[in-house]
Each structure stands twice: as C-alpha cells, then as structure tokens.
C-alpha cells in the first residue's frame, strides 16, 4: 500500500468541492435533504457568504464555496453529465426527505438490475444526486443480462 500521509485524516483521495451561487442556502439544503453535517466554515466577511466550508454526508467529506469568478469558481446552472451518489439505508425515505427539502424529483425509487434500489433528485443549486440502497449481490452474468435488457 502506498503512503497516504499527504491526505488529511478523515478524507479520501478524491474530495468533491462544489461552487454555489448561495453556499449558505446550499449547506442548509444539504443538511435538510441528506443529513449533511457542517464541519468547518470560513465566512467571507465582505459579502456575508461562504469563502470555504466543509461538510460530511455519511462518511464522505465535501467542500463548498460561493462563486469567485476571479479564482475560477463558477456555480453550474445545472449538472449536465455527472451526479453525486449517496448510499443510504432506505432509498424511498431518502428520496422523500430530499423532495420535501426542496429537491426536484428526477427519477423515483426503482429496483435496478445491478442490485441497488435507486432514485435521483436535482438540488436547487445545479447538482444532481443519486440515492442508492444496496438490495442484492447479483453475479456478473446477471448484471450483464440485465444490461442487455436495459431500456435506457
């Protein structure tokens, strides 16, 4: 195993860093929708916004800031190609919680051929989130068969 002493304790090799038009509101939404816990916040004293904040969803760390165009930090209008995936104990309950907190429903909870039950939502700040609950452990052959029959 390689030396990982360069990674801060509690972090992984990849840590998402989000940019928001309103990081204060985003942090509140993530707490309500996904149970996020704020760990650190550096306020921007000039604007009252967020220069940098760190939060956790489950055992994963994420970072967020307001837009700083001169630094290359621009919030998305919407997430075009990717999504964050959160494994949750109850996909249906997590989906309902996110929608109740203000997320837009993208796909309701459904059982998938790869063994997860998943749902998808879009947050009000331009990011998409997949909610997943592990339900079974299909074999590679069963997954390949499911992909052949996939209608997407």
Domains of the chain, with CATH numbers? Answer: 1-75 (3.30.720.120), 77-152 (3.10.180.10)
Rounded-to-integer distance, Cα 100 and Cα 95, Å: 9
Tens digit of pLDDT at every position of the chain (152 positions): 578 788 888 888 889 999 999 999 999 999 999 999 999 999 999 999 999 999 999 999 999 999 999 888 999 887 666 789 999 999 999 999 999 999 999 999 999 999 999 999 999 999 999 999 999 999 999 999 999 888 75
Q: With beta carbons less than 8 A apart as the criterion, state whether 74 and 119 touch.
A: no
CA atoms of 79 and 73, how far apart (whole Å): 15
pTM of the entire structure? 0.86
Q: Is 5 exposed, middle or buried (CB count within 10 Å of its CB: 0-12, 13-18, 19+)?
A: exposed
* CB of 55 closer than 8 Å to CB of 27: yes
């Amino acid at each position: 195993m390689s030396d990982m002493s360069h990674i801060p304790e509690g972090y992984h090799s990849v840590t998402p860093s989000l940019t928001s038009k309103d990081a204060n509101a985003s942090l509140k939404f993530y707490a309500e929708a996904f149970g996020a816990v704020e760990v650190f916040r550096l306020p921007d004293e000039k604007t009252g916004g967020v220069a940098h904040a760190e939060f956790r969803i489950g055992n994963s760390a994420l970072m967020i800031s307001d837009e700083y165009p001169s630094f290359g930090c621009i919030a998305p209008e919407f997430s075009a190609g990717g999504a964050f995936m959160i494994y949750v104990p109850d996909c249906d309950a997590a989906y309902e919680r996110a929608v109740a907190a203000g997320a837009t429903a993208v796909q309701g909870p459904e059982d998938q051929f790869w063994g997860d039950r998943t749902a998808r939502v879009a947050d009000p700040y331009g990011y998409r989130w997949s909610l997943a609950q592990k339900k079974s452990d299909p074999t590679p052959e069963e997954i390949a068969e499911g992909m052949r029959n996939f209608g997407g």
